[in-house]
Chains A and B, each alone.
With several copies, the nearest count.
Chain A
Amino acid sequence: MSALGEQAVRTGPDLAGRRRREARRRQLNVIGGRVLVAVVILGGWELGARATVIDRFFWSQPSDIAATLWRWFTEGTDLGPLWLQVLVTMEETVGGFVVGSVFGVIFGVVLGRNRLLSDVLGPYIKGANAIPRVVVGALFAVSLGLDIKAKIATAAVLVFFVVFFNAFQGVREVDRNLIANARILGADDRRLTTEIIIPSALSWIVASLHTSFGLALVGAVVGELFGATEGIGELIYLSKNLFDTAGVFAGMALLAATALVAEALITALEDRLIRWRPPVATETRI
Chain B
Amino acid sequence: GSTNAPSSGGVTTISLKVMVGGLNKQIYLPNMLAQRLGYFKDQHLDVTLIDEGSGQASEEEVVAGNVDAGSGAYVHPMVLNTQGKKIETICQFGIAPGEAEVVDASLSNITSAKDLKGKNLGVTDLGSGTHVLTQAILGSAGVDPTSAKYVAVGAGDTFIAAIQQKKIAAGMTTFPTISRLVNSGKGKILVSLLTPADTRAALGGDYPFIGVFAKNDWVNSNKDAAQRLVNAYVKTLKYMHSHTAAQIADQMPTDYYAGDKSSYVSDLQSQLAIFGTDCKMPSGGPETVQKIQQQFVSSFKGKSANLSETYTNELADKANA
Contacts and interface: CB of A to CB of B under 8 A. Distances in A.
Interface in B5-57: 17, 19, 22-25, 48-54, 56-57
B197 interface: no
Interface stretch (A39-47, A198-206, A223-231, A258-266): A223-231
A246 to B, nearest CB: 8
B27 to A, nearest CB: 12
A110 interface: no
A60 to B, nearest CB: 11
Contacts of B257: 242
B80 A227 contact: no
Interface in B223-268: 253-259
Given A225-B154, A227-B66, A238-B127, A58 B60 contact: yes
A241 interface: yes
B60 A242 contact: no
Contacts of B53: 225-226, 237
A238 B60 contact: no
Nearest to A247: B258
B66 A243 contact: no
Contacts of B76: 243
Interface stretch (A11-19, A137-145, A189-197): A137-145
B291 interface: no
A58 B66 CA distance: 13
B127 A228 contact: no
A243 B57 contact: no
A227 B52 contact: yes
Nearest to A143: B64
A262 B300 CA distance: 36
Given A142-B157, A146-B151, A237-B126, A243 B19 contact: no
B298 A78 contact: yes
B253 A78 contact: yes
B255 A141 contact: no
B24 A242 contact: yes
Contacts of A70: none
Given A57-B83, A242-B256, 10 more contacts: A78-B298, A141-B161, A146-B66, A146-B67, A225-B154, A226-B152, A238-B24, A238-B255, A244-B258, A244-B259
Interface of B: 17, 19, 22-25, 48-54, 56-57, 59-61, 63-64, 66-67, 76, 79-80, 83-85, 120, 125-128, 131, 149-158, 160-162, 165, 167, 176, 180, 253-259, 297-299
